[in-house]
Structure 1
Amino acid sequence: MSTLKKILLLALFSITLMGCNDPESVAAEAAQLRAEQHPDRTYVGENNYYTMESSGDIQFTTKKDLKVMYQDFPRYFIEKAKEWPKEDLNDASSYDLPRFQFAWANSSSKDEYESGLKIWSMKTDGTDLRLVTDATIGFASIRNLARSPNNRYVAWAGSGGQKGVYDLKTGKVTVIQKTTSPLDMLWSEDSRYLYHERYRNRYSRWDSETGEISEVDFDVRTTAVNFGGKRTTVLDFGVLVENANTNDELNWIGVDRSLSMDERSLDVTSIDPEGRYAWGSNPFFGFFFDIEKGTVKQMTTDYTPAQILGKDAHFSALDSFAKVRIVDRVGEQVWSWRAFYYGALSGDAILYNGLANNGLWFKEGK
């Protein structure tokens, strides 16, 4: 064999080897193999995937007959959270529906990162799961969450009462409370201030622009909303509407004072994103507040509890996400599905971006 032919053969062999070791080629082949072996899975990275599973029958406390809906929803299997897409404020497609936010440890393995509590979010139709922040790893529990109206800041109250804020725009984490404290938190309408109960019956605000903490002279509750210049708060026995700038009382809508303390106490509460409607219930009654009209409807039968309330009270959900349970309160329909195959949840889920899609939790035709 001539020297020239040997050189050409060696060059061809080298090119072939380079093609075989090309990372993109190897990844493409691995992806194709996974797709052939598991056609029911949609992989996100090498170690994570989701399947589409039908919603099914539901069991939860309700005194109203609802039509059970059957529809495919994603069920997520996440082994490597760092490979999962993070929530991105610049991705408009993530914000075309209202979203749920919750604390979830995606794995029960001994790996400290995967078994640690992280904050996640997903659309109300179960799609577009995103990792919000892993800054909460190390907390034994996350007991409360609050998202700013502009979606930029997520605040949490963890075990021991510590409070922190994560800025999705900068990635910065700020600890605003290091010692044991109450859990209540509420964002201002312009997303600048986080109001919180710093000590028992002492309330403060954290300024997201300056980092300063100063006292305020009004009560802070988590079941509240700042909207349209009003602060609307669900209290133990009714709903208080105040001027958000002056703190002057504008209206009080109380439950029937002839009831006993136990009968009129609001144990389960929620409020819609605009402060137009609110819900309260206890073992005896359900109470639906039409805040614009200043009325409250007291019910003993034919009602469905609402731990999370959507715009115009059209949709509601239970806040425990071991199983997602959504109710269309207008259409009297209910969906129930398991979004996660494994892992552990902590605390309650919340709703944010609640005015997207005119407050409807599903796209038209779904």
Structure 2
Amino acid sequence: MTKIKAFSRRRFLQTSAALAATSAMPLGLRQAMAAGSLTVGFVYVGPKDDYGYNQAHAEGAAAVKELEGVTVVEEENVPESVDVINTMESMINFDGASFLFPTSFGYYDPYVKETAPKYPDVRFEHCGGLWTEGDPANAGSYFGYIGMGQYLNGVVAGHMSKSKKIGFVAAKPIPQVLNNINSFLLGARAVDPNITCQVIFTGAWSSPVKEAEATNALADQGADVITCHVDGPKVVVETAASRDCYICGYHADQSPLAPELYLTGAEWNWAHVYTEFVKTVLAGGEIPNFVRGGLADGFIKMSPLGPAVTDAAAKQFNAVRDEIMLGGFAAIKGPLKDNKGNVIATAGQSFPETDIALESMDYLVEGVIGSTN
């Protein structure tokens, strides 16, 4: 079984005692194991077939269903509100779930943090949140270094853009989104340092009308390669294709939506992560409270290169991917300023993908046209 790594725990927990701390296995999991069965619950903020964030998680849940002795319960379209508490409690009390994956970013604080202490026999694993010491011991957070996927998107975009203008449709300026925007541009600038990236924030994880408007606005301003960080990229992909723009995907594989214009995409590989989590529990192991992984660890993957990708683009894409697979890759490295002129990194300074500081990112790099305000 592949070992699940908690890459950033030394920097995150900062003491040797805390470093060694993993959550004790809740009683409910031990009882389920003794009974030879385990019920796992997945909660999604949107539909399971959104070609995006929720579909990627649902594909992971589908893989868990194939494991012997495991029952999966799911609920989709659950808002980031008290509704998620009701859903989690229903799964626990009526379905017998003892291992929960509330997958949306806004579920963690306050809803998971409020619910977990009420059910100490249940394990709560949350995607994207930043579990900190003092949070419930039966909760944890996991995420992947998908900014590296957006960096690879940018490498291909840098080769394929004729206008030297690329575009990004973003939901909200939280650290993970900002890291993806910055990584996308920096990947493109590894090809041509004169490339710029226009970003438009919609203000919502799912807003099809605003996503279409933003994509059209980027095309109107000359962007000829577009990517995004919204829950369901379908509208962005289809709108970009209608404007004859190339597309770099996100969350899941959107190539069926625009097969001729889809270049590649940064995808989650939750099927691997979730099956490894559940296998670890079934084997009597424990999952650290803070887990992160990258390309080499199977947390993320890249969509196959599309038919439009040139040989030069493919060659650099493959070389950079091989470098990232070795670990320790840094997209954010000096000398580098933000788009307001502030120094982010001095010459020789770098922030590798595993650096916990990236999960507090609050800036856009030089060359990104847009504001976090």
Same fold (TM over 0.5): no
| TM range, smaller chain | under 0.3
Structure with the greater relative contact order (CA < 8 A, sep ≥ 6): 1 or 2?
A: 2
* Larger helix share, 1 or 2: 2
TM (norm. structure 2) is 0.23
